[in-house]
Amino acid sequence: MSEQLEWHKVLDNPEDLPEGRVTTVQAGQHSFCLTHHQGTFACLDNKCPHQGGPLGEGSIENGLLRCPWHGWDYDPISGKAPGFDDGVATFPVAVRADGIYIGLKPAPPAPKTTSDLMVETMIAWGVDVGFGMVGHSNLGMADAMQRQEALGNLRFYGIRHEGAASFAASAYGKLTGKPAFCFSIAGPGATNMFTGLWDAKVDRAPILALTGQVATQVMGTGNFQEVDLIQAFQSVAVFNHRVQRDSKYSELMALAIKHALLKRDVAHLTFPDEIQTLPITEKDTISGPEGRITTQEIAPPESAFQAALALVEQSKRPMIIVGHGARFDMEQIIKFAERLNCLVVTTFKAKGQIPDNHPLAGGVLGRSGTPIASYFMNEADLLLVFGASFSNHTGITAKIPTIQVDFDPMALSKFHPVDVALWGEISVTVSRFLESLTDAFSYPDQREEIGNRWTIWKKEKRKRLKDHSEKGLSSISVFEALNRLAPENAVMCVDVGNNAYSFGRYYESKSANTFLMSGYLGSIGFAFPAAIGAWAAVGDSRPVIAVAGDGGFTQYLGEFTTAVKYNMPIKLILLNNSELGKISKEQRAGEFKVWKTGLRNPNFADYARSCGALGFRVTESGIELDEALEAAFSHNGPVVVEIITDPGLI
């Protein structure tokens, strides 16, 4: 008994395929070549057996269907190649009143593949958010991802540039402490991800990079889009492997994620094309995180801790400095500050980890910081540094006794010796301090002095608000408006340039603000892709704001359409001064001629509207600026607030 066919409608109207024409049609997950020749409709396999050319993109010439790739001819009805013993398979066709149907045998259940196993392992480890582009060398892996997305186990965001994918995944890791994945094809797709991967690496954010690769048999032959990705990723990835035919697939994925998590670094796997669709056996099982991750609650060595405790007990005017590495330990650190009655300042990367309205907060220390922070550092007799790395940008002095605490022993005393280097998990170490300080030790309360220094600084800011220019608004006017109107719980993603310096100095962080930036790498263009990653992490539970200059935003201008596509309600505050203002400033400071820093920009508000979003263009401070910001923050969708600013008023 013949097997019953399943009939698939592939064309609504026979007239849509005129006599002598061919087209590609889809039935299920397969494509077919539909022909119309001498009054007959026929269906052929769409793949030429020689190079896989798509016959549905060919043409009928002299009564024969010609392959568009290399010109091989086939009978458009029988699929045979005249004069040869090869050809392509044909399938039954039925022309019905409501369209054209093709008959196919019921497809057997698709076997699970290596890609299925690795994607399911990834999800079992909690890596269920990704960003990237699908292409010809990662299709097997992409197909496994779409199956998991259809089941609700995975969220994947298709972006316009792979660099944006890695920035988004980096921001996700910085915000959550968990890795997201970025995904690309071989060659240029993979190399495009490098900047975002380096951003994650130097800022100690876990991230998983997954790349397609050309087939193993053509590696080393100069094949199309061939790049040795293992060699290329060697400098950026702490875990860097090619998936092979004899790999332990689930275990390899588990090891990649474990490295990303524990090293807070980049893990990379590349998938040769032919490996992605290999069927797996019943012996291949998922390797989950159970029993694979050790606790990280590391207490500091006792001798070092006692030396640090002695310095704390002797101090009369300590100051706490927190870096980005302490972002998940702030509750304990603030308790410690309240016990010491001392100021807490942050590095620029750690802005907002203590809100500026806390009575012990002193804002940001360093070039992007407040005079409050620098004043107190000069007056301190002990620096307690948590999760910070003493970059030149921050400017932590080496002349004051210092205790440094970090989970990474390589970060301790990285740039110069410190008095006590404490290797330990930050919250555990701070808890030990709190337990060890008896009631006999009291410290002068610095709150009144801190309040006085804030009063002086706010008075100075009011003076600067009076600065006016015909070229555009001052940066301080923009950030003072944001101080009043930005949601208190917003995640704010900041770019690189004068906009960032002004943001660090003038924006006063609120109780539940979180800030993300490209710290050690300092990569322009970070803010908007980072906002995509932040939104993927928090969804609609928190507002997401990107703050960027015109130079930074235009690097990933196309990603605004990504926000529109997924209705990500990201608010972009765009300071447009038609200049790479920070570079101009550096040229002047170095006594160079200002050169090639001027920009020719579109009307960004019009661009936003052309993408299907909301756009405002602001040229005046006061009511016009406030109304635009209020409208943006109340709108449930992506918005650009373009503000014309003067590069000289920062």
pLDDT in tens, 426-443: 999 999 999 999 877 788
Q: How far is CA 358 from CA 82, 361, 482, 543, in A?
A: 84, 5, 18, 22
| Strand 64-66 to 73-74 pairing | antiparallel
The whole-angstrom separation of Cα 424 and Cα 436 is 16
- The strand pairing partners of 60, in sequence order, are 65
**Exposed (0-12), middle (13-18) or buried (19+): which is 281, by Cβ within 10 Å?**
exposed
324: left (phi over 0), alpha (psi -120 to 50) or beta: alpha
pLDDT for 605: 98
How many domains, the chain? 4
pLDDT tens digits along 93-117 = 999 999 999 999 988 888 899 999 9
If you compute the radius of gyration of the chain from its CA atoms, what whole number of angstroms results? 30
- Chain-centroid distance of CA 648 in Å reads 31
Answer with the residue of higher pLDDT: 1 or 375: 375
Is residue 460 situated within a structural domain? no
**Which of 50, 8, 6, 47 minimizes the C-alpha distance to 24?**
47
Q: Please, how many CA atoms are within 13 Å of residue 93, restricted to the half-sphere of its CB? A: 22
Within this chain, do residues 481 and 608 fall inside the same structural domain, yes or no? yes
- 457: pLDDT strictly greater than 60: yes
| pLDDT range class, residue 311, cuts 50, 70, 90 | very high
Q: Would you call 271 helix, strand, or coil by DSSP?
A: strand
What are the C-alpha distances in Å from 166 to residues 68, 528, 543?
Answer: 36, 12, 22
Q: What pLDDT band is residue 387 in, cutting at 50, 70 and 90?
A: very high
Measuring CA to CA, how many Å separate 223 from each of 94, 227, 241, 297?
Answer: 42, 9, 20, 49
Residue 148 pLDDT grade (very low, low, confident, very high; cuts 50, 70, 90): very high
- Both 183 and 309 in one domain: the answer is no
Pick from 448, 474, 489: which residue ends a domain? 448
What pairing do the DSSP bridges indicate for beta strands 382-386 and 614-618?
unpaired
Task: Please tell me the predicted confidence (pLDDT) of residue 322.
Answer: 96
Question: Which pLDDT belongs to residue 268?
Answer: 98
Nearest of 409, 412, 417, 367 to residue 389 by alpha carbon: 412
Contact 497, 367 (CB under 8 A): no
Residues 336-356, mean pLDDT to the nearest whole number: 94
Q: Which domain holds residue 314?
A: 302-448
From residue 502, how far is each of 33, 108, 495, 553 by CA, in Å?
Answer: 60, 62, 11, 17
Give one word for 591, left, alpha or beta, with left for phi > 0 and alpha for psi -120 to 50.
left
Q: Tell me the percentage of the chain whose pLDDT exceeds 70.
A: 100
Q: What is the pLDDT of residues 532-552, one digit of tens each?
A: 999 999 999 999 999 999 999
Task: Examine residue 639 and state whether it is found in any structural domain, yes or no.
Answer: yes
The answer to whether residue 217 scores a pLDDT higher than 90 is no
Average pLDDT for 130-154: 97
Whole-angstrom Cα distance, residue 565 to residue 575?
Answer: 24
CB 450 within 8 A of CB 364: no
Question: Is residue 418's pLDDT more than 80?
Answer: yes
- Report the C-alpha gap between 490 and 541 in whole angstroms: 10
To the nearest whole number, what is the mean pLDDT of the chain?
A: 93
**Same domain? 80 vs 17:** yes
Please state, in angstroms and as integers, the Cα–Cα distance from residue 325 to each residue in 204, 264, 403, 425, following that order: 8, 10, 15, 10
**What average pLDDT does this structure show over 175-191?**
97
**Backbone torsions φ then ψ of 341, nearest 5 degrees:** 55, 40
176 conformational bin, left if phi > 0, alpha if psi -120 to 50, beta if neither: alpha
The predicted pLDDT at position 403 comes to 96
Residue 1 pLDDT level (bands cut at 50, 70, 90): very low
pLDDT grade for 469, boundaries at 50, 70 and 90: confident
Q: What is the mean pLDDT of residues 290-310?
A: 91
Structural domain contains residue 188:
yes
Neighbouring CB atoms inside 10 A of 430's CB total 26
User: Are 255 and 177 members of one domain?
Assistant: yes
Residue 617 inside a domain? The answer is yes
The pLDDT, as a whole number, for residue 3 is 67
CB 131 within 8 A of CB 536: yes
Which of 283-287, 299-303, 365-369 shows the highest mean pLDDT? 299-303
On whether the CB atoms of residues 224 and 137 are closer than 8 A, the answer is no
> Cβ-count burial of 267 within 10 angstroms (0-12 exposed, 13-18 middle, 19+ buried)?
buried
Q: Is the pLDDT of residue 2 over 60?
A: no
Does residue 81 sit in the same domain as residue 139? no
- 183 has pLDDT over 70: yes
Has residue 130 got a pLDDT over 60? Answer: yes
Distance (Å, whole) CA 126 – CA 177: 12
User: Do 293 and 402 touch, CB atoms closer than 8 A?
Assistant: no
Residue 315 lies in a domain: yes
Where residue 417 sits, what CATH number does that domain have?
A: 3.40.50.1220
Q: Are residues 482 and 611 in the same domain?
A: yes
301, two tokens: 């060595």
Task: Indicate if 442 and 506 belong to the same structural domain.
Answer: no
Distance between CA atoms of 113 and 298, rounded to whole angstroms? 40
Q: Kindly state whether residues 81 and 124 are assigned to the same domain.
A: no
Q: Where are the extended beta strands (E) located within 252-367?
A: 266-272, 318-322, 343-346, 361-364
Q: Within its chain, how far is the Cα of 393 from the centroid?
A: 24
- d(Cα 361, Cα 346) in Å, to the nearest integer? 9
Distance CA 445, CA 448 (A): 8
67 with 47: CB under 8 angstroms? no
Reply yes or no on whether the pLDDT at 259 is more than 60. yes
Residues 270 and 315 in one domain: no
Residue 209 CB: number of other CB atoms within 10 A? 33
Rounded to two decimals, the pTM is 0.90
Question: Do residues 586 and 620 both lie within one domain?
Answer: yes
Band (621; pLDDT cuts 50, 70, 90): confident
User: Do residue 22 and residue 141 come from a single domain?
Assistant: no
Distance CA 6, CA 27 (A): 10
User: Is residue 284 assigned to a domain?
Assistant: no
Same domain assignment for residues 625 and 499: yes
Task: Assess if residue 458 is contained within a domain.
Answer: no
Indicate which CATH number applies to the domain containing 533: 3.40.50.970
Helices 498-506 and 475-485, packing angle to 10 deg: 50
In whole angstroms, give the CA distance from residue 223 to residue 82. Answer: 32
Q: Does residue 387 belong to any structural domain of this protein?
A: yes
Non-local CB neighbours of 367 within 8 Å, separated by 6+ positions: 348, 393, 395, 501
